[in-house]
């Protein structure tokens, strides 16, 4: 795709054409030539959408709950984008479950854009392509963007870099879920939802969650900011900022029955409350800056690795280098210095 075609595609997306949005997301997912220029052009038009991450173990009812959330937002007149990150196919790298119909309540509604994407083996089920897809939906003008991740345990913490609010779903009476939370998911959640709350064990699961959250914050009065530092202005000491707004978000534990819609309105209210808190305390801006810093580092690492792979290939490949090291003709440190030498020289020349 040439520059003129890329510019036209961006303009069509910004004009609200769903076909252009779908094409852009396909390009960023497949990493087609020119996708970086497209995402770069969209960046200045982002920053208005509220991004919600929904995570939890498989079988917790994430898809059904996301469907209900989207329907409620539409009833309020808001537009919605949904990205469902599915397990990668070992053969094609694509989403195993494909663009399956999961948004039963929203079929035919053009203001609910659903896309199933492949995790591509990325930790936490979120690839760089998913973050770029969020940008496309944001630039398109979606009010709410919901990311539903594949349940992958501790690695799900990557969602924090993409979502403003993280909602963790837990099944009643599941010891595995409790262990998952202890393994590292606990600190990333802004709210926890015991879904399928009409099942046996729901009350116990709620109590377990509340106890774990209390233990998490009680010993040190730990600030829960979803893994991000607090703004520079100090707290007043009583959990409130100088303007009286609460500086500490206390994670909530809610109960829902997504299939019937029970508890979904309360969940929506809590999501709204967290969104307002992010704005009132400056946490949304702080999260965005942290997210951009992480993205820059990730892109630099990926691009640098590509340069190194190219230089290795030019020198015969890593296998040949390993053979030479094995034969004691050289050593790993010398190989690393030789491979990086030309790259370092280019950097030094650019500095001059």
Task: Provide the pLDDT confidence category of residue 17 given band limits of 50, 70 and 90.
Answer: very high
Whether 75 is in a domain gets the answer yes
Mean per-residue pLDDT for 8-19? 96
Per-residue pLDDT band at 123 (split at 50, 70, 90): very low
199 & 270 share domain: yes
Number of domains in the chain: 2
Asked if 310 and 270 sit in the same domain, the reply is: no
* Residue 18 within any structural domain of the chain: no
pTM of the shown model: 0.83
Domain termination site, one of 281, 315, 343: 281
191 in a domain, yes or no? yes
The pair of structure tokens assigned to 162 is: 């993409």
Q: Is residue 23 part of a domain?
A: no
> 154 with 46: CB under 8 angstroms?
no
Are residues 165 and 227 both part of a single domain? yes
More confident call, 159 vs 66 = 66
pLDDT value at position 187? 78
Final residue before a domain boundary, out of 246, 281, 316? 281
Structural domain includes residue 27 = no
Is the pLDDT at 227 greater than 50, yes or no?
no
Are 241 and 339 contained in the same domain? no
Q: Which CATH number covers residue 125?
A: 3.40.50.300
Domain end point (choices 281, 314, 333): 281
Q: How many CB atoms lie within 10 A of CB 169?
A: 25
Q: Give tens-digit pLDDT for 48-59.
A: 999 999 988 778
Q: Encode pLDDT of 165-175 as tens digits.
A: 999 888 887 66
Residue 263 included in any domain? yes
191 and 339, same domain (yes or no): no
Could you tell me if 188 and 109 lie in one domain? Answer: yes
Q: Is the pLDDT of residue 272 over 80?
A: yes
In which band, very low, low, confident or very high, does the pLDDT at 203 lie, cut at 50, 70 and 90?
Answer: confident
- Provide mean pLDDT across the span 238-263: 78
Is residue 121 in some structural domain?
yes
| Domain span including residue 122 | 47-281
Distance CA 133, CA 100 (A): 18
Q: Is residue 229 part of a domain?
A: yes
Residues 186, 304 within the same domain: no
Residues 320 and 238 occupy one common structural domain: no
- In the chain, what's the furthest Cα-to-Cα distance? 70
- What pLDDT sits at residue 207? 87
What order of strands is seen across the sheet that includes strand 165-170? 112-118, 80-86, 144-148, 50-56, 165-170, 191-194, 252-255
Position with higher pLDDT, 233 vs 44:
44
Indicate if 72 and 125 belong to the same structural domain: yes
């Amino acid at each position: 795709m040439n520059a003129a075609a890329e510019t036209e595609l961006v303009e069509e997306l910004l004009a609200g054409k769903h076909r252009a949005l779908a094409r852009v997301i396909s390009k960023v997912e497949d990493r087609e030539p020119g996708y970086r220029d497209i995402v770069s052009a969209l960046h200045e038009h982002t920053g208005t959408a509220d991004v919600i991450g929904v995570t939890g173990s498989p079988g917790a009812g994430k898809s059904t709950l996301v469907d209900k959330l989207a329907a409620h937002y539409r009833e309020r007149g808001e537009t919605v984008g949904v990205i469902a990150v599915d397990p990668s196919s070992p053969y094609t790298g694509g989403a195993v479950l494909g663009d399956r119909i999961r948004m039963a309540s929203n079929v035919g509604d053009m203001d609910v854009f659903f896309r199933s994407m492949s995790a591509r083996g990325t930790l936490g089920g979120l690839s760089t392509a998913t973050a770029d897809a969020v940008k496309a939906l944001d630039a398109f003008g979606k009010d709410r963007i919901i990311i539903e991740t594949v349940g992958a345990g501790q690695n799900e913490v990557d969602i924090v870099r993409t979502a403003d609010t993280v909602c963790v779903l837990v099944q009643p009476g599941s010891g595995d879920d409790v262990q998952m939370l202890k393994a590292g998911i606990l600190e990333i959640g802004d709210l926890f939802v015991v879904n399928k709350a009409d099942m046996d064990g729901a009350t116990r699961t709620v109590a377990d969650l509340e106890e774990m959250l209390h233990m998490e914050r009680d010993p040190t009065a730990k600030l829960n900011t979803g893994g991000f530092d607090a703004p520079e202005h100090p707290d007043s000491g009583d959990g409130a900022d100088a303007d009286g707004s609460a500086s500490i978000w206390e994670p909530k534990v809610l109960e829902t029955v997504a299939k019937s819609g029970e508890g979904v309105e309360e969940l929506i209210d809590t999501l709204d409350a967290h969104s307002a808190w992010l704005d009132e305390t400056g946490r949304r801006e702080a999260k965005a800056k942290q997210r951009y810093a992480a993205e820059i580092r990730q892109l630099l690492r990926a691009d640098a690795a590509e340069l190194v792979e190219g230089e290795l290939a030019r020198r015969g490949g890593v296998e040949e280098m390993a053979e030479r090291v094995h034969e004691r003709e050289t050593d790993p440190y010398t190989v690393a210095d030789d491979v990086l030498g030309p790259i370092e020289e280019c950097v030094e020349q650019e500095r001059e």
